[in-house]
Structure formats: structure tokens, C-alpha cells
Amino acid sequence: MQGLEVRGLSKRFGGLVVSENIDFDLPPGARKALIGPNGAGKSTFANLVTGILSPSGGTIRFDGQDVAGLNEAQRVKRGIAKTFQITTLFPRLTVRENLRLPVLEREGQGTRMFRRASGNAEIEAEVTALIDQFDLGPLADRPVLDLAYGQQRLVEMALSLALKPRLLILDEPAAGVPSSETHLIIEAIERLPDDLAVLVIEHDMDLVFRVARSIVVLVQGRILTEGTPEEIANNAQVRELYLGGAHG
């Protein structure tokens, strides 16, 4: 099978088990959400997949190959990316300048080519396509610090996409975004490439239920259940343990 295949994954911090025997698949084109109460182990799982943390046990395969021994940068090269945090944006650079950096990085040209890059039509075309994809056209030449928080998070998502990933983990894409701007994030996720595998980790249930075709519920490091949004909304155990009956 293509895509991500996780089997029997576990992670312990000393005596604390934060991931326990996790089996998880994410094929190309998937739109999956990982939800669960605070401390359930969602970020830990994402960090195990991207290589920020190493597992205590289990296997992680991507497109048929074992990636557990690869570091984060090597996994990015294989196509596994997680959204940049806003803190990695350069606030005084424009949206366009920020987006040029990961494209150059991916092309192996590094930042020394930054000046000459403005003359490189291919790179500029790619940056413009990203700007258009995220509807950032009118803001392209404004410094990132001028943008609303929700728009900054779109730039963050565009930066990740500039790496041309085949699997993208969106780690709390709506965190801190005012509810009046959440629709920007939802629309951006809906416009991601069809063949990209997307995993959303998010507390905002409106966003989760809008974008996910499948939802995995993690409780105390273990998968409680996985199902369609409808199945999850109607699952008595989920409602009791996590949603508190808020949906459905």
C-alpha cells in the first residue's frame, strides 16, 4: 500500500506511556483528523511520524519504506511535512519573500540565491501559484506582520506546501484563530491537492467535522475508535469521553 502505515507504535517518556500500540494508515488523498482530550498524545504521534521524536517500539513505513531511522529533514525529502509554526515566519519579510525561501531550500539553492531568485522565472511562478492557491494575492507584497492571524496561518500552510509534500500534518491549524477567520483555514484545507494525504490535529470540532472524511479518536495514548464523522458523532463512548454530546 502507498502512503503512511504505522504499526504497533509506542512511545514512553520514562515510566509514562504516551503512545501505546498505535496502528494507523494514511493513504494518498486521505483527509483524516486526529482528535482527543488534552494530553492524549496527538502531538507526540505527529512528532513520531515526522521524526522529531523516536519511537520506543513499532514501525513507521511511508510508500512501502521504513522511515523510522530517518531524521526530520530526511523525512521531509521523502515527502512527510508538518506545518511550520508561525514563529518560523519572518515577520518583516513580505508574504512573497517568505514563500520564496522554502522553494529555494527545496531546490537546494539556499538563501544565498535569494537576490538572484527574484529573476528566476520558474521559482517566481511557483511562488505566485502558492499565493493564488491560498488567495493571498492582495497581501503578497505586504510584510507578514501586517496580516491578520488567520492569514498568517495560511502563509504557514503555504510554506509547508512549498516543500511539495505527499503527506501533510496540520498541527492545530485553527489554534488562536478568531472564529470569524476560521473559514479561511477550512477553505484552504479544502483546496489542498487531491492526491495529498492530510492529517489534521485540531480541537476545533467545527473544522474537524467540515474537513475530515475519517476521524481517529486518541485517549491516553491509545486509539479508542476510528470512523466517519457521522459514526464518531454518534459514538456513545466518544460523546461520553470526549465530545460530551456536543455533536449530533
Ligand X SMILES: Nc1ncnc2c1ncn2[C@@H]1O[C@H](COP(=O)(O)OP(=O)(O)OP(=O)(O)O)[C@@H](O)[C@H]1O
Query: Rule CB under 6 A: which residues touch ligand X?
Result: 13, 16, 18, 36, 38-44
CB of 57 to ligand X, least distance (A): 16
CA 116-118-122 angle, to 5 degrees, is 100
Distance, in Å, from the CA atom of 18 to the CA atom of 15, rounded to the nearest integer, reads: 10
CB of 173 to ligand X, least distance (A): 13
State the distance between the two ends of the chain, measured CA to CA, in whole angstroms: 34
CB of 126 to ligand X, least distance (A): 33
Contact 125, 134 (CB under 8 A): no
CB of 202 to ligand X, least distance (A): 9
CB of 139 to ligand X, least distance (A): 29
- With respect to ligand X, which residue has the nearer C-beta, 57 or 137? 57
Burial track 137-176 (b if 16+ CB lie within 10 A, e otherwise):
eebbeeebeebeebbbbbbbbbbbbbbebbbbbbbbbbee
Tell me how crowded residue 62 is: count the other CB atoms within 10 A of its CB. Answer: 23
CA 37 to chain centre: 19
Residue 129, judged by CB atoms within 10 A of its CB (0-12, 13-18, 19+), counts as middle
